[in-house]
Structure 1
Amino acid sequence: MRCGLIFTLLCCLAGAAQGASASALAAPHKAYLTLIIDDLGQNLPRDRRVLALPGPVTTAIMPDTPHAAEFAREAHQAGKTIILHMPMDPATGPFAWHPELPVEELGKRLDAAFKAVPYTAGINNHMGSRMTAEPAAMAWLMDELQRRHKFFLDSRTSAKTVAAAEAQKIGLASVSRDVFLDDERTEAAITTQLQTAIKLAHRQGSAVMIGHPYPQTLAVLERELPKLKAQGIEWIDIKLMISVRGNQAMAGHGKDGVYRYR
């Protein structure tokens, strides 16, 4: 009788363990998505559509735009994360960084840009295919952002970028873009890119998207973002994404969590 009872208990425990294991295997894999909209500050009615998107969109505001400070205040009041969309070579203008500029001038332009865009939590590069390939300048920038308690988002406008690698070297809070939504400005192409980001998030656990306030992009986002949850996607703020990734490079950015350097 006693042996039979023990056998029955063992069978129950084995069944419970098997069930727990099956539940763990069946548990949905976390898939996180972050969205940044660049080039803001130029057109208030258009940019306000970005603030109305249903989730934690990050607003990247250009310093040399007529509504930079005003839109930053509105974004702050709406509870959005604001980053400085810093012009870098081949971008032009009074704030733009160029490889031939001395560090003193880079610092002056960075100071002026931060003053033009209040409430910033971090920075990403506007253009910058030449500038982000400059190790010395990028190392200086990451030290400066560390001093200012700002994070860095590498827009990855060039495969030669060393920006994220320099951030990783000093442990600066940073993250890198995975998908550009709207290199091709048609709703069909943008929808395809969004689905690419969703698939990537399911495959590697997270994806970082950058888009622009084009009418086609906003139309797609307004239509598709409310569907993310049903597709197993959790849309999170960029600061949480930095925490989720822990400053590690994704497969498209490097190897074994380390960013490629050139």
Structure 2
Amino acid sequence: MRYLLLTLFCLLTGAAHAAPAKAYMSIIIDDLGQSIERDQRTLALPGPVTMAVMPDTPHASDFARQAHEAGKTVILHMPMDPATGPYAWHPGLPTEELARRLDAALLKVPFAAGVNNHMGSRMTAEPTAMAWLMAELQRRDLFFVDSRTSAATVAAAKAQEDCLAHVSRDVFLDDVRTSEAITAQLREGVELARRQGSAVLIGHPYAQTLEVLEREMPRLKSQGIELIELRQMIAVRSNLAMPAHGKQGRYSNR
């Protein structure tokens, strides 16, 4: 099984973090599938950037196939409340409808290796639904990325309880859509990776974000940062919560 070793790592989730020997970074770009031009520019970024594709976009399936053929990791960017649309999860929906929408979304995004939430500040705070999702992803051998769009999220905590391969986002690159702000957020990610050994960054295919990444990603190695594929990041973190998300490797929201 792809993530068999993570079952063993789950036994260590109560252990304290050791001092980092290396500094790793993974970058995810959300909201793909909407624009061919932006999708292609994102695909051309150097290094193992993860492509998070929205199911309710005009180019979702074609771009997911293209990204997979280019050797990129593809994940389903799953709409969750307050997101709307035919695939979106909302509190109160029966499990059968959640399952139907997940099935339909995965069909629209072929080759998805995992799932992260699009919006979802209300949905990821729902313990029962998140527990069901993590069990379902475990059954499908898919991983989960908690985008942490809310401080009340229990998604990563439920993934950890189920020993599901997962990571949590550390830094959003482009909440403020200026080159200066995005560069500062990337710098924050570099410093965080140095302090705790790894950092997971999420951005969007905005012109400013792509411009900063095109310029700065080739410089990461000289700054002591190794850019790694998301599956490798999952192995590096061993299903442990980072200090900002919990204590002694366990997530605070349970």
The alignment's TM-score, normalised by the length of structure 2, stands at 0.92
Q: Does 1:108 align with 2:96?
A: no
Post-superposition shift, 1:70?
0.5
The residue number in structure 2 matching 1:226 is: 218
Q: Does 1:74 align with 2:66?
A: yes
What aligned pairs does 1:95-134 form with structure 2 within 5 A after superposition?
95-134=87-126
* AA of the residue aligned to 1:234: E
Q: Does 1:158 align with 2:144?
A: no
Q: Output the CA distance in 2 between the equivalents of 1:61 and 1:253.
A: 25
* AA of the residue aligned to 1:109: R
What aligned pairs does 1:33-112 form with structure 2 within 5 A after superposition?
33-112=25-104
The residue number in structure 1 matching 2:247 is: 255
The residue number in structure 1 matching 2:16 is: none
- Percent identity, please: 71
Post-superposition shift, 1:260?
1.0
Which runs of no fewer than 5 residues in structure 1 stay unpaired?
A: 1-27
Q: Secondary structure at the match of 1:252?
A: helix
Q: Output the CA distance in 1 between the equivalents of 2:68 and 2:164.
A: 23
Post-superposition shift, 1:170?
1.0
Q: Does 1:201 align with 2:185?
A: no
Post-superposition shift, 1:100?
1.3
The residue number in structure 2 matching 1:10 is: none
The total of aligned residue pairs comes to 235
Q: Output the CA distance in 2 between the equivalents of 1:261 and 1:223.
A: 37
TM superposition outliers: structure 1 runs of 4+ over 2 Å:
none
Deviation per residue, 1:89-133 (Å, 9 max, x gap): 000000000001000000000000000000000000000000000
* AA of the residue aligned to 1:142: M
Post-superposition shift, 1:171?
0.3
Q: Secondary structure at the match of 2:78?
A: strand
Q: Output the CA distance in 2 between the equivalents of 1:198 and 1:88.
A: 29
What aligned pairs does 1:169-248 form with structure 2 within 5 A after superposition?
169-248=161-240
Q: Look at both structures and tell me which one has the larger radius of gyration over its CA atoms.
A: 1
The residue number in structure 1 matching 2:21 is: 29
Q: Output the CA distance in 1 between the equivalents of 2:21 and 2:102.
A: 40
Q: Secondary structure at the match of 2:236?
A: helix
Q: Secondary structure at the match of 1:207?
A: strand
Aligned-residue CA RMSD in angstroms?
0.8
Q: Output the CA distance in 2 between the equivalents of 1:96 and 1:54.
A: 32
Post-superposition shift, 1:29?
3.4
* AA of the residue aligned to 1:131: M
Deviation per residue, 1:219-255 (Å, 9 max, x gap): 0000000000000000000000000000000001100
Deviation per residue, 1:135-166 (Å, 9 max, x gap): 00000000000000000000000000000000
Q: Output the CA distance in 2 between the equivalents of 1:44 and 1:258.
A: 40
Deviation per residue, 1:156-186 (Å, 9 max, x gap): 0000000000000010000000000000000
Q: Secondary structure at the match of 2:244?
A: coil
Post-superposition shift, 1:193?
0.1
* AA of the residue aligned to 1:182: D
Deviation per residue, 1:182-205 (Å, 9 max, x gap): 000000000000000000000000
Q: Secondary structure at the match of 2:243?
A: coil
